[in-house]
Structure 1
Amino acid sequence: MPGFLCDCWPSLEIRALLCAMGCIQSIGGKARVFREGITVIDVKASIDPVPTSIDESSSVVLRYRTPHFRASAQVVMPPIPKKETWIVGWIQACSHMEFYNQYGEQGMSSWELPDLQEGKIQAISDSDGVNYPWYGNTTETCTIVGPTKRDSKFIISMNDNFYPSVTWAVPVSESNVAKLTNIYRDQSFTTWLVATNTSTNDMIILQTLHWRMQLSIEVNPNRPLGQRARLREPIAQDQPKILSKNEPIPPSALVKPNANDAQRREVREKSITLEITVSRIKSAPDPKHQLWNPEGIKRNKKQKTCTPNVYHTETYMWQTETEHTVSRQTLKVCEATVAGQLKRTIS
């Protein structure tokens, strides 16, 4: 967004900082030889030395684009005498995530990874959702089919960044009035360079990287569109770390679900009238799964219970302290009173 940098630091100071932090981390020179004679000649990793860009062109959402994390490796695979297939590529997992969007005194929304947050898993797969466990299947991997008679030399590379849209207005609210005041995001990742024998499932970790992306955007919703948001520190990202000692890959980083499918959206609002339509599908007539009407909530339809293989939709209106939980893999509904709040969970 034009002019947002000058609200943070003088542009010359920013350019100096970005240049100082923009060096590429690399392990080169002496080649490293692993089991099966696999050789890693060079590994590079960096985050582009540019600030996060902000786009206010839409009256509905704010968009931002973070700098790219980039990694590449030059690998040599020795001749494969047998009829075997090897895949060399990048595997990535998210080990930490904080992602909050604040709407002033109206409340906040967040994206959360429950199992990771509760410590049930150490990391969650960041695969493309198709080619598990690999981050992707174009430049991110190389497949060598044996038998081969000579060395196979290749470069594999990957990149990653964030480019989301955040609503100006409070989510699940019918109002279109801009209330967004702050965006905060802090995520950490581990990225592994791995060679796998698909015939034996033998997996060799060749390199381990750590990287982190931090973001803070301050928003004044009362200012004209195009002048609302400004980037706060950190302007430049810390560069990735290429570890001298490899780390094991947690089992949860190799299987479904990936981070995009597992993340759950939380929306917390205060003293606001809401109207939400919810669909139920094929629920057994079990009381614990029945729609329940707590005292004080006015409903515009009579109480309904769930019957097998029956679809129905109901609309609710209330004014209270509320918390809404929405998952991407979602079609169940339950309601409960927790600490004086009404909590609706769709998971």
Structure 2
Amino acid sequence: MDIAKEIYHLNYSHRDEVSPGRALQRPGRRNAQVFMRRRPQDCLSLLEIALVLNTMGCIHSLSCKPKVFRESIAVLDVKASIDSTLTSIDESSSVVLRYRTPHFRASAQVLVPPIAGKDSWRVGWIQACNHMKFYNHYGDLGMSSWELPDLVNGKIPAISDSDGVNYPWYGNTTETCTVTGPTKRDTKFTVSMNDNFYPSVTWAVPVSDSNVPMLTGIHRDQSFTTWLVAINMASDDLVILHTIKWRMKLEIEIKPTLPLGQRAKLQEPFAQEQPQVLDKNEPIPPSALVKPNANDAQVLMWRPKNKPAVVVIPPKRR
């Protein structure tokens, strides 16, 4: 709206209204008073209308801007913990020892504002492994080791811990929620995830034909970063909402000469450190968003004390 033109038009339309047919004559005192009395009111009305319309236009414009929408996605509550239960050990098999660690758990309640148009936003958890030491000791013979070569060699700072199907997401059930526009109201939902270790470790040396139990200890130390993220499914615009750091440490001492059920004993730390929800978000490394994930990239090595290392199980994907 051109306010100056409207005021100009109002001015001359009122002159015509006050003294029709006398455009060349000076209006009389009474008509001039009427003109002067009405003009400020009408101008004020025009200004008020213009300001309201302009304000409405600004609000509408801001609500449609991607940056404003991104900043409007709200996390109402976020929780992260590791169960207080101890790692359990299963010696029921004569071939392998199994153990189950407590669960890491994360949940968040999220509020997504109304979505204009047909945009689609997915909110959920992305996780990456930053560090892994996973050693199974066999006395003086050596040790087997699950390794992530690119992580060990420093080629990447982290590797995806996706389920291997729904990259880059950790999972696609309770772990994510998709909101597709247009929506007229706020959308509130909860996304949650959990993670733990439940491996099997051979009693005997993994490259030996012998079934004699030789396993003497297990050492495991892994660190993870878990992000709560919103991604625009069309543009791939990514918003980090929260960052969580957590770690799982494990020590098991084993006396292989004892009968099954009496060999393994959990060592300190018995309880795990609780996760940290960071005050400041950390960026997601590109390697945490793409294939391969940790399960497909890991390799099992046999590292004898006085001989070259041997690949026992190669990676599924490089």
TM range (shorter): 0.7 to 0.9
**Distance in 2 separating the partners of 1:326 and 1:224:** 27
Q: CA deviation at 1:330?
A: 6.2
Q: CA deviation at 1:82?
A: 1.2
2:70 maps to what in 1? 35
Matched letter for residue 234 of structure 2: S
Q: Structure 2 residue aligned with 1:171, among 192, 199, 206?
A: 206
1:234 maps to what in 2? 269
**Distance in 2 separating the partners of 1:263 and 1:99:** 11
Q: CA deviation at 1:39?
A: 0.8
How is 1:169-318 mapped onto 2 (pairs within 5 angstroms)?
169-269=204-304
Task: Assess if the C-alpha contact under 8 Å between 1:220 and 1:229 holds in 2.
Answer: yes
TM-aligned CA distance change 1:175 to 1:326, over 3 Å: closer
Task: Assess if the C-alpha contact under 8 Å between 1:90 and 1:140 holds in 2.
Answer: yes
Q: CA deviation at 1:48?
A: 0.1
Secondary structure of the structure 2 residue equivalent to 1:261: helix
Secondary structure of the structure 1 residue equivalent to 2:280: coil
TM-aligned CA distance change 1:330 to 1:204, over 3 Å: closer
Secondary structure of the structure 1 residue equivalent to 2:140: helix
More strand by share: 1
Task: Assess if the C-alpha contact under 8 Å between 1:34 and 1:206 holds in 2.
Answer: no
Secondary structure of the structure 1 residue equivalent to 2:309: strand
Residues 1:135 and 2:170 are matched in the alignment: yes
Q: Which runs of 5+ in 2 are unaligned?
A: 1-67
Matched letter for residue 155 of structure 2: K
**Distance in 2 separating the partners of 1:252 and 1:270:** 33
Identity of aligned residues (%): 72
Task: Assess if the C-alpha contact under 8 Å between 1:92 and 1:126 holds in 2.
Answer: yes
Q: CA deviation at 1:322?
A: 4.4
Task: Assess if the C-alpha contact under 8 Å between 1:86 and 1:144 holds in 2.
Answer: yes
Q: Structure 1 residue aligned with 2:110, among 71, 75, 87?
A: 75
**Distance in 2 separating the partners of 1:127 and 1:248:** 17
Residues 1:325 and 2:314 are matched in the alignment: no
How is 1:65-104 mapped onto 2 (pairs within 5 angstroms)?
65-104=100-139
Q: CA deviation at 1:194?
A: 0.2
**Distance in 2 separating the partners of 1:233 and 1:187:** 15
Q: CA deviation at 1:268?
A: 2.0
**Distance in 1 separating the partners of 2:76 and 2:316:** 46
Secondary structure of the structure 1 residue equivalent to 2:296: helix
Task: Assess if the C-alpha contact under 8 Å between 2:126 and 2:169 holds in 1.
Answer: yes
**Distance in 1 separating the partners of 2:122 and 2:130:** 24
Matched letter for residue 265 of structure 2: R
In the TM superposition, structure 1's runs of 4+ consecutive aligned residues that sit over 3 Å from their partners are 326-331
**Distance in 1 separating the partners of 2:109 and 2:197:** 26
- Aligned-pair RMSD on alpha carbons? 1.6
Matched letter for residue 120 of structure 2: T
Secondary structure of the structure 2 residue equivalent to 1:104: coil
Q: CA deviation at 1:36?
A: 4.4
Task: Assess if the C-alpha contact under 8 Å between 1:80 and 1:147 holds in 2.
Answer: yes
Using structure 1 for the length normalisation, give the TM-score: 0.70
Secondary structure of the structure 1 residue equivalent to 2:292: coil
**Distance in 2 separating the partners of 1:79 and 1:322:** 61
More helix by share: 2
Q: CA deviation at 1:326?
A: 3.5
Task: Assess if the C-alpha contact under 8 Å between 2:135 and 2:144 holds in 1.
Answer: yes
Matched letter for residue 161 of structure 1: N
Q: Which runs of 5+ in 1 are unaligned?
A: 1-32, 272-320, 332-346
TM-aligned CA distance change 1:60 to 1:327, over 3 Å: closer
**Distance in 2 separating the partners of 1:159 and 1:323:** 34
Q: Structure 2 residue aligned with 1:54, among 81, 89, 94?
A: 89
Task: Assess if the C-alpha contact under 8 Å between 2:69 and 2:113 holds in 1.
Answer: no
